[in-house]
Every structure is written in structure tokens, then in C-alpha cells.
Amino acid sequence: MAAPGYRRDHAQHATLPDSSRIYLRRVREADLRLGPAFFAALSPRSRYLRLMQQANRLPPSTLAQLRSQLRDPRCMVLAAFADHVGGDELVGGGRIVPTGRREVCEFALTVVDAWQGRGVGRVLMRELTRAARRLGYRWIEGYALPINTGMLKLARISRLAPSPLPADPQLVRLSRRLFLTNRPTDWPTDRPTH
């Protein structure tokens, strides 16, 4: 799953604890074609933990939501690519979207199985949290199944507090209060600079 027409000058680079290099950048419309192959690379368990239901294919509604979120200024959709010599590989993605509560955004992230536990989720979560602050959100929250031990561990590391959902005991809410920053955005636009 190579990154179509990417520009590395518009990316955030990170070195993982195992010395692997990744870069994160905003998802573009052309990237959506990578979605089905990315989803197919997930194990059935990872698909279930992400969608909270069994699915063999990426639901078309998910791609439609992503397409809409790319145009929404209150959303941030990021992709993580492994920085390989022979080409780059899509290894994870994350997004924040507004909720029905003005100061609260919801996050979601996914990392392909071969890259889980290597720090990709931590880098994605850090950048999503930074983006949420810059967009003016005061709280970031997400939801996980109690059996999703990888997400619960990432939540602990990312200082997201778990709490039960009385309306749905099958889910755990992971939330964190954000302190706003006046720093300019770290994420350049896709417009060329002169």
C-alpha cells in the first residue's frame, strides 16, 4: 500500500523505539483508495476491535464518512506510513471528529497488526491530541471494547481515563481534558510554499 503522490515536506516524522521510521500526514482524497487494502491487512480480531462488529470488508459508509471528514475543518484525519527504502507502507491511521458537544471531539485509530505494539499508536494519539487542542476542543474521548487490551494500554500511556458507559456496558469511554495552546499549527497545509 504505497502512498500516492505524497510530499514528505508536509509530514511529521518519528522514530519508534525499535528505530523504525514513520511519518504522519493528513489524509488526502487520493489516499482513500488505500482504505480497502489497509482494512484487508488487519486480522479479523483487529477489525472486530476497531469496528466492534465482525466485518470482512471495509464498509462503504466508513469511506463516505472519511471523505466527508476530509472537508470538515473541525476534523483531522491522519495516516501513518512506514519509511521504507523501496517504498512507503500505510501502517496506521487516526482521526478526530466533533461530537454533539461543542468542546468534545472523538478519536479513533487503527494500526495494522504487524506494527501494533511498536509505538505507532502512541505517535498517532499524541498528534491527534495536539490537533484537538489546536482546533479548540477541551476534551478528547474515544470508545473501546474492554477486551481491547492494546487500546486500553495506549489510553493509560496517553493519560486517557477509562470510565464505564451506563448506556452500553460493552464499551469503555476513554477521555482526557485538554489544555488549550496558542501555538501555531504544526500541520502545514497542502498548499506549496514559495
Mean pLDDT of the chain: 83
Residue 3 lies in a domain: no
Beta strands in the chain (DSSP E): 12-15, 21-26, 76-83, 88-98, 104-111, 139-144, 161-164, 172-177
Query: For position 180, what pLDDT does the model report?
Result: 65
Chain center to CA of 26? 10
Residue 181 lies in a domain: no
End-to-end CA distance of the chain: 31
Largest CA distance in the chain: 53
Per-residue pLDDT tens over the stretch 121-158: 999 999 999 999 999 999 999 999 899 999 999 999 99
* Residues 130, 107: Cα–Cα separation, whole Å: 12
For cell 496558542, what's the residue?
Answer: 182
Residue 149 lies in a domain: no
Residue 150 lies in a domain: no
Q: What is the DSSP letter of 194?
A: -
The enclosing domain of 56 has a CATH number of 3.40.630.30
Total count of domains within the chain: 1
Q: For the beta carbon of residue 96, count every other beta carbon within 10 angstroms.
A: 26
Residue 62 lies in a domain: yes
* Residues 88, 106: Cα–Cα separation, whole Å: 28
CA distances from 166 to 18, 59, 145, 146, 181 (A): 40, 28, 14, 14, 33
Residues 24 and 11: beta-carbon distance below 8 Å: yes
* Residues 60, 136: Cα–Cα separation, whole Å: 30
| Residue 33 cell numbers, joined | 483508495
Domain range for residue 138?
Answer: 8-142
Place 188 in a pLDDT band, splitting at 50, 70 and 90.
Answer: very low
Residue 71 lies in a domain: yes
* Residues 144, 43: Cα–Cα separation, whole Å: 17
Residue 40 lies in a domain: yes
Residue 179 lies in a domain: no
Per-residue pLDDT tens over the stretch 78-123: 999 997 767 788 999 999 999 989 899 999 999 999 999 999 999 9
